[in-house]
């Protein structure tokens, strides 16, 4: 089964609305007519409406970097799925390692957010990955399996088709260290097998598994050229139109 790749930009805590618009004005001509892959931008929450407006008339989608699991409530500082949809966004990251590391986001919270996203027809990009200590201890497979089992608890095969997984080894994020294509492919096979064990092989074969962690123009084709790698979640190199478009054109 052929899976259409998703190339996603995680802008983290960078770019004002004006900077976001300037990026898009420069980026759109660089990817005009590019239909091979899907493209999505994940700006800061204050830029989301501007990004959606700037992308009007294109196939490029926008989403939140983090979404609360409740529709509304007394959750200071959070953004709800209804707020995401109200500005015309369609996607959300869930469980990015920086959320897990700095904001105590657990697999249980990831699971609640995943259920919420699917309930609201929001495309969830669920991030998983092992730390350096876990890799060096030989625990990569068990960490990935546990993150999937807990993160996907209660999800049925009927609901699961929209889910995207981003495999992001924590030691490769923002460090300039990239998993080799072989390491990434091995991890993606473990992830796909675990999804198959939980949700069946049809869902697993259709599910897009992105690689993330220091994806740059010069390593994109060796990673994205792998059959098992269905796109990329790009941080640092997504901040500049020329480098992100070069990754899109890998």
| Shortest distance in whole angstroms from residue 235 CB to ligand PGA | 2
Spatial distance between the Cα atoms of 28 and 228, rounded to a whole number of angstroms:
28
Question: Rounded to the nearest 10 degrees, how much is the dihedral formed by the CA atoms of 142, 148, 150, 156?
Answer: -140
214 touching ligand PGA, by CB under 6 A: yes
Closest listed residue to residue 113, CA positions, set 128, 95, 88, 139: 95
Residue 108 has φ and ψ, to the nearest 5°, of -70, -40
Minimal CB distance residue for ligand PGA: 235
Closest listed residue to residue 177, CA positions, set 146, 151, 209, 212: 212
63 touching ligand PGA, by CB under 6 A: no
**Among 122, 184, 233, 247, contact with ligand PGA (rule: CB under 6 A):** 233
200 touching ligand PGA, by CB under 6 A: no
Number of residues near ligand PGA (by CB under 6 A): 13
Spatial distance between the Cα atoms of 10 and 21, rounded to a whole number of angstroms:
15
Could you say which residues in the range 129-188 bind ligand PGA, by CB under 6 A?
A: 168, 173-174
Q: DSSP letter for 37, please.
A: S
**Among 124, 217, 235, 241, contact with ligand PGA (rule: CB under 6 A):** 235
**Among 27, 236, 244, 250, contact with ligand PGA (rule: CB under 6 A):** 236
Q: Which is nearer to ligand PGA, 191 or 203 (CB)?
A: 191
Spatial distance between the Cα atoms of 114 and 160, rounded to a whole number of angstroms:
10
| Shortest distance in whole angstroms from residue 216 CB to ligand PGA | 8
213 touching ligand PGA, by CB under 6 A: yes
As to burial, measured by CB atoms within 10 angstroms (0-12 exposed, 13-18 middle, 19+ buried), residue 25 is exposed
Question: Is position 96 annotated as part of the catalytic site?
Answer: yes
218 touching ligand PGA, by CB under 6 A: no
Question: Is position 19 annotated as part of the catalytic site?
Answer: no
The catalytic position among 38, 68, 91, 96 is: 96
Q: Which is nearer to ligand PGA, 69 or 171 (CB)?
A: 171
The catalytic position among 38, 134, 168, 194 is: 168
H/E stretch holding 238 reads none
Q: Which is nearer to ligand PGA, 152 or 171 (CB)?
A: 171
| Shortest distance in whole angstroms from residue 66 CB to ligand PGA | 12
- From start to end of the chain, where are the E strands? 6-10, 38-42, 61-64, 91-94, 123-128, 164-167, 208-212, 231-234
Could you say which residues in the range 9-38 bind ligand PGA, by CB under 6 A?
A: 10
- From start to end of 44-139, where are the E strands? 61-64, 91-94, 123-128
Q: Which residues bind ligand PGA (CB under 6 A)?
A: 10, 168, 173-174, 212-215, 233-237
Active site residue ranges: 96, 168
């Amino acid at each position: 089964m052929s899976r259409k790749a998703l190339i996603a930009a995680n802008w983290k805590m960078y770019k004002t609305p004006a900077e976001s618009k300037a990026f898009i004005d420069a980026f759109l001509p660089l990817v005009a007519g590019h239909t091979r892959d899907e493209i999505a931008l994940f700006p800061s929450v204050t830029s989301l409406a501007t990004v959606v407006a700037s992308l009007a008339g294109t196939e490029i989608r926008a989403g939140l970097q983090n979404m609360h699991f409740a529709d509304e409530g007394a959750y200071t500082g959070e953004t709800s799925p209804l707020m995401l949809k109200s500005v015309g966004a369609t996607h959300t990251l869930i469980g990015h390692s920086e959320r897990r590391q700095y904001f105590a986001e657990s697999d249980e919270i990831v699971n609640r957010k995943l259920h919420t996203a699917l309930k609201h027809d929001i495309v969830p990009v669920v991030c998983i990955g092992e730390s350096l200590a876990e890799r060096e201890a030989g625990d990569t497979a068990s960490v990935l399996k546990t993150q999937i089992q807990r993160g996907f608890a209660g999800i049925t095969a009927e609901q699961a088709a929209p889910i995207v997984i981003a495999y992001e080894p924590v030691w490769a994020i923002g460090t300039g260290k990239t998993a080799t294509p072989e390491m990434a492919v091995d991890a993606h096979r473990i992830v796909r097998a675990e999804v198959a064990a939980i949700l069946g092989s049809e869902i697993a074969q259709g599910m897009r598994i992105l690689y993330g962690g220091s994806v740059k123009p010069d390593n994109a084709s060796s990673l994205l050229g792998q059959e098992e790698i269905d796109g990329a979640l790009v941080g640092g190199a997504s901040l500049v139109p020329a480098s992100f478009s070069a990754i899109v054109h890998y």
